[in-house]
Chain A
Amino acid sequence: MFGKKAEVALELDNLEGRKTATFKDSSGKEVSLPVYTGNEDISGRLVVNMKRGKKIEHQGVKVELIGRIDITYERNQTSDFVSMSRELEPPGTINESATIPFSFNKVDKQFETYQGRFCKVRYIIKTTILRKNFSSNIVNEQEVSVLNTTNETEESTSIKMEVGIEECLHIEFEYNKHKYHLKDCILGKVNFLLVRIRIKYMEIAIIRRETIGAGAQATNENETVAKFEVMDGAPVRGEFIPIRVFLGAFDLTPTYYNVNNKFSVRHFLNLVLVDEEDRRYFKQQEIVLWRKDL
């Protein structure tokens, strides 16, 4: 209906040269979104192209920035952790084409955009031209993504561990750090101290764990997001097998602790040994992932 009167578009500033990030939406379709950092201003404009001789009477024009968490586990629940609204125009009439700028400055967008299995964090810019009476509002939405880099602050200690099944398998493994940035490389080695099983291969899996809720009601959901074979065949006692995993090869996100009390995302390295009867022997170690740069 309104289309007859005007074409309304939401445009963001400075998109040229801005990084984009690709996410999969719930249907699995990839979408590419412009990337903002947590304290970056988001500015844009609402462009209204009026058709000749038409006018729009409205109750006001506003723009909103919404930070939203969707949990699709068991039952869907949606909550907004950011919800900011700006009045762009008081109630009145738009007679001719106009460009209405807007800007959200200094809004803290602490959570990163995230598309997990059950949890999502999304940022949406939404403009609304409120209409009188029963006419429907003119709404435009644009999703943006927020990615935050962090500095390497703490010392990243190595992970070293000896595990085994008595009289069967005994190994010692070592990862050079426990904190890795997303383009990092895991270096390590596995030392076979005792091998009494016929090992077929060894692989490293990266497991992403979404913890939904908090406290006693919290539930964990694991998902293997990467698999990497590090050894083919069965080693003998005393063998050191090198581990070198370039994380850049995988689609990973940083570790998120307690996203607005709704969920957490953690990562585990799972060292898996598979024997000739396809029995799996594994050991999980948590690693912390962080974003060094965009």
Chain B
Amino acid sequence: MDEEQQKYLDDAIAVVKQEAYEMHQALDSSNLKEALKHANNMISELKTSLLSPKTYYELYMQIFDELNKLETYFLDAQRKGRSMMSLYEKVQQTPAVLPRIYLLITVGSACIQTKEATAKEILRDLIEMVKGVQFPIRGLFLRYYLNKLCKDKLPDSDSDLDEQDGTVADSVDFLLANLAEMNKLWIRLQNTANTQEKSKREKERNDLRVTVGENINRLSSLQGVNQELYQTSVLPKILEVITSSKDPISQQYLMDCIIQAFPDAFHLHTLSTLLQAFSELQPSVDINSILVNLLTRLSEFIGESEIGIANEVDIFGLIEAHLNKIIENPSSDLKKLLQLQVSFLSFTIKCYPKSTDHVNTILNSCVNIIAKNCPDKKVDADSVKHIVKLLSIPLETLSLAILSMNHYPELLSYLAFSARKQVSFKIVKAAISCRKILDSLSVVNELFDFATPLWACDSDEDDIDDYEFEEEQQNMAKLVHLVKSQSLDATFKILEVFKKNFSSGGDNRIKFTFPALFFAYAKLLPFADSNNDINAIDSILKIMAEIIKKIFKIDPESSLKYHLQCMQAINSLKSKAEFEQYAFEFVSQAFRVYFDEFANSRSKFSAISMIAGTLVGSNCFEEENFDTLVFKCTQFSARQLKKADQCKGVAICTHLFYNKYYQNEVRVLECLNRAAKTASICIFNPKNVFLFVVLLNTYIYYHNLGVDSIGSSSINKIIQLIKDQLESIENGHEEIFDTDEIKTYYFNTIKYIRARQLEDKLVGIII
């Protein structure tokens, strides 16, 4: 508020306070005549034309509070015997019109409350008398006061009044009349200005609009305004007020008011009336945003029970016809038209959850809109956003039913690469999230068609950050897991498409997609096996090998685990014997990869652990072949770069000699001795006491299994050694490393031993 306004307001409020004070003094001494005189003076401050709407409102509120107190006094006086109706006549003798009507409304309200007069009579009289104020701001506030004061006195269907005292119809008439008159005043505010002040006036009007809209809110809050009354009487009358005004600001605001104020169920039933009204509005009214609001609300509202209505009346047809009219209007701009189509689409999907035809029709409209408004295909950024929405909304509910819509790819083609990719990504995600089973070659082909930007190397490809790319490719990869067909053959063909397309995506994509493809094939093996289809297994394994080859080229280290995976897959086949050579070859390849490609000692250790682990569980090998593999594995373990790794590796390898399929105590003991020896060499580094704890556990493991050659005495020796070591570390002058982890491991082991001893096991061990 600027200084000048503040000053005017301060001056006015000073007068109001003074007069209010004197009014209360007079009331306290029951001098009503004097009180009314001061009330009159107080209200007369509202006659000012100096204040902006916002400042005027502040002044109004001050006076509003005082008038509330005055009304309370009137009610009190009535209980003491004063007639409100005679007061109603008396205040009409006030010579100035503005204070007269403020007082009249105040007394009128008291008349209704005390039931000296019926609400019907008073409301009719007041709505007539307020016409005396035709000055826009003053009139609007006066009628706003009328509205506020009468809001709880409007006859409604749930008020306990006799019919002749007033019905909801009277309230409706009252509010509609007030709405119509306020609307006129509001519009007149615009016309009183010359063109230079236009924008200032528009701002003022904007500040005042809620006073007008209040009538619509009030109408909507009447219980008696049910759907039928709304449809047959209230809405047509409001629309008459709106359309007859020819003022775009008013039309825009009040249409929006209707949509905000009344229940969505009403809108659904009166859609055709509303749409008709839209076409009668001034051309500069932004129908789009109103319609967007309406359709958005409706689509949020529509649930199962409302879908019936949509089928009773051809709502889709109605809206479509209306939107087509808007599209034909040459002044509409692309962005807004598309936004409208977005909300229409959301609405349609809610209304007609299964109708792909309707969606396709809308997409067609969009294609036409763009073709017409944007012949050069250069669509602006906002419109692109809308197109992306238009393409992604159907996905959320209809998911891959979009694949059958011929206008979908048409619309998609209007997008630039990145936006197109964005939609593709959504399509892919939709497929994943709805767990669409990909069982037909044609669907898969179409899906790849739609998803082209994600898997093909495109010329207009742009920079993309790694994270995003990774997410895209991971989702592409996920698609392959959705493949499931009745016959192995059909599945094969579908996977073939995936393989072909994935292969063409370049190494960066293959890195993500091929592993998934690999496992998709692996999943087929059990099926082929159960059918005893040796040929199929053979070809699957060959394809898997081929896939591994590709992966090897891109990421050699990772190929190791796929080799092992293949061996494991063979191991679980019924017909594993048939594929022993394949299995042997896969493991040999794994060793080759290990030998040639692994350089880092840490990854080397984990790789050899993995190989050992895989071999332990296998029984698909001939004894000789297995021995070869085990020998190699032990050899590699013992040749780890770090002594500690050697020790651990050899300890792990003991399992190769003692497992479900194969037991050789001698070899186990050999390995353990070797590991112990290595550990002893390492003892110079106190950190390596850890190795003894590992060994302790290995010893206990075999002792538990009943391997005779591993007795309590060697275990006791190790325990003693660990204790000494830990003690010397504790007593060491310098704490060179954190022993917590080792200690925890050790004490847990001890705890375990103790528990077993309670069950009379491991009795020879001294702890």
CB distance from B567 to the nearest CB of A (A): 94
A240 to B139, CA, bound (A): 15
Within 8 A of A (CB), among B108-139: 128-129, 131-136, 138-139
Q: Are B95 and A234 in contact (CB under 8 A)?
A: no
B98 at the interface (CB under 8 A from A): yes
* Residue B723 CB within 8 A of the other chain: no
Check B184–A241 contact: CB distance below 8 A. Answer: no
A232-B134 in contact (CB<8A): yes
Chain A residues with CB below 8 A from B184, complex form: 236
If A236-B184, A236-B188 touch, whether A231 touches B134 (CB-CB below 8 Å) is yes
Contact digits for B235-247, partner A, Cβ 8 Å, 1 yes 0 no: 0000000000000
Checking B47, B100, B131, B138 against A241 with a beta-carbon cut-off of 8 angstroms, the contacting residue is B131
* A241 in contact with B93 given A232-B47, A232-B98, A233-B139 (CB within 8 Å): no
Tell me the smallest distance from the CB of B602 to a CB of chain A, in Å.
89
Give the docked Cα–Cα distance between A227 and B89 (Å): 17
Contact A233 B138, CB 8 Å, known A228-B95, A246-B92, A246-B93: yes
A240 partner residues in chain B, CB cutoff 8 A: 131
A89 to B224, CA, bound (A): 85
Interface size on B, residues (CB 8 A): 22
A229 in the interface (beta carbon within 8 A): yes
The smallest beta-carbon distance between B48 and chain A, in angstroms, is: 12
Report the Cα distance A55→B138, complex, angstroms: 77
Scan residues 210-257 of chain A and give those whose CB is less than 8 A from a CB of chain B.
Answer: 227-236, 239-242, 244, 246, 248-249
B524 in contact (CB, < 8 A): no
Q: Which of B47, B92, B188 makes the CB contact (< 8 A) with A244?
A: B92
A232 to B134, CA, bound (A): 6
What are the residues of chain A within 8 A of B100 when measuring CB–CB?
229
A277 to chain B, nearest CB (A): 15
- Known interface pairs A236-B188, A242-B128, A246-B89; A231-B133 also in contact (CB < 8 Å): yes
Interface of B, helix, strand, loop or mixed by DSSP: helix
Find chain A residues with CB under 8 A from B128 CB: 242
Pick from B95, B129, B132 the residue with the most CB of A within 10 Å: B132
Contact: B96 with A229, CB < 8 Å?
yes
Distance in angstroms between the alpha carbons of A233 and B143 in the assembled complex: 14
Contact of B129 among A236, A244, A248 (CB under 8 A): A244
Assess A227 versus B132: contact at CB under 8 Å? Given A233-B139, A236-B188.
no
Does B97 count as interface, using CB distance less than 8 angstroms?
yes
With A227-B95, A246-B92, A248-B93 as contacts: A233 and B136 at CB distance below 8 Å? yes
CB distance from A246 to the nearest CB of B (A): 5
Are B131 and A239 touching (Cβ within 8 A)? yes
Which A residues, 2 to 36, have Cβ-Cβ distances below 8 Å to chain B? none
Q: Are B135 and A234 in contact (CB under 8 A)?
A: yes
Task: Give complex CA distance A132, B570 in Å.
Answer: 165
One of B89, B97, B129, B136 near A229 (C-beta < 8 A) = B97
User: Which chain B residues (63-115) contact chain A, with CB distance < 8 Å?
Assistant: 89, 92-93, 95-98, 100
CB pair A233–B131 under 8 Å, yes or no, is: no
Q: How far is the CB of A263 from chain B (nearest CB, A)?
A: 29
**Which residue of the partner chain A has the closest CB to B191?**
A236
Task: Decide: A241 and B95 in contact? CB cutoff 8 A.
Answer: no
Q: Once the chains bind, are A232 and B132 in contact (CB under 8 Å)?
A: yes
Which of A227, A234, A246 interacts with B134 by CB under 8 Å?
A234
B89 touches A241 (CB 8 A): no
CB distance from B126 to the nearest CB of A (A): 11
Tell whether, in the assembled complex, residue B93 and residue A233 are in contact, meaning their CB atoms are under 8 Å apart: no
B73 to chain A, nearest CB (A): 22
**A229-B96, A233-B139 given as contacts; is B133 within 8 A of A242 (CB)?**
no
Q: How far is the CA of A70 from the CA of B184 in the complex (A)?
A: 55
> Given the complex of chains A and B, what is the CA–CA distance between A249 and B139 in angstroms?
25
B332 CB, nearest partner CB in chain A, Å: 32
Given contacts A228-B95, A246-B93, A248-B93, contact A233 B135 (CB under 8 A): yes
- A196–chain B nearest beta-carbon distance, Å: 13
Contact of A230 among B89, B97, B188 (CB under 8 A): B97
B93–A231 CB distance below 8 A: no
Measured CB to CB, the closest approach of chain A to B63, in angstroms, equals 16
Residue of A nearest to B99 (CB): A229
Contact A229-B188, Cβ < 8 Å, known A240-B131, A241-B131, A242-B128:
no
- Contact across chains for B47 and A242 when beta carbons are under 8 A apart: no
A242 in contact with B98 given A232-B47, A249-B93 (CB within 8 Å)? no
**Chain A residues in 8 Å Cβ range of B131:** 239-242
B129 touches A232 (CB 8 A): no
A234 cross-chain contacts in B, Cβ below 8 A: 134-135, 188, 192
Query: Nearest-CB distance from A201 to chain B (Å)?
Result: 8
Q: How far is the CA of A244 from the CA of B100 in the complex (A)?
A: 11
- In the bound complex, what is the Cα–Cα distance between A288 and B100 (angstroms)? 26
A-B contact pairs, 11 of them (CB 8 A): A229-B96, A230-B97, A230-B132, A231-B134, A233-B136, A240-B131, A242-B128, A242-B129, A242-B132, A246-B89, A248-B93
A-B contacts besides A230-B132, A233-B138, A242-B129, 4 pairs, CB < 8 Å:
A229-B95, A231-B133, A236-B188, A244-B92
For the complex of A and B, 9 pairs with smallest distance between CB atoms: A233-B135, A249-B93, A233-B134, A229-B97, A235-B134, A232-B133, A232-B97, A229-B96, A232-B135
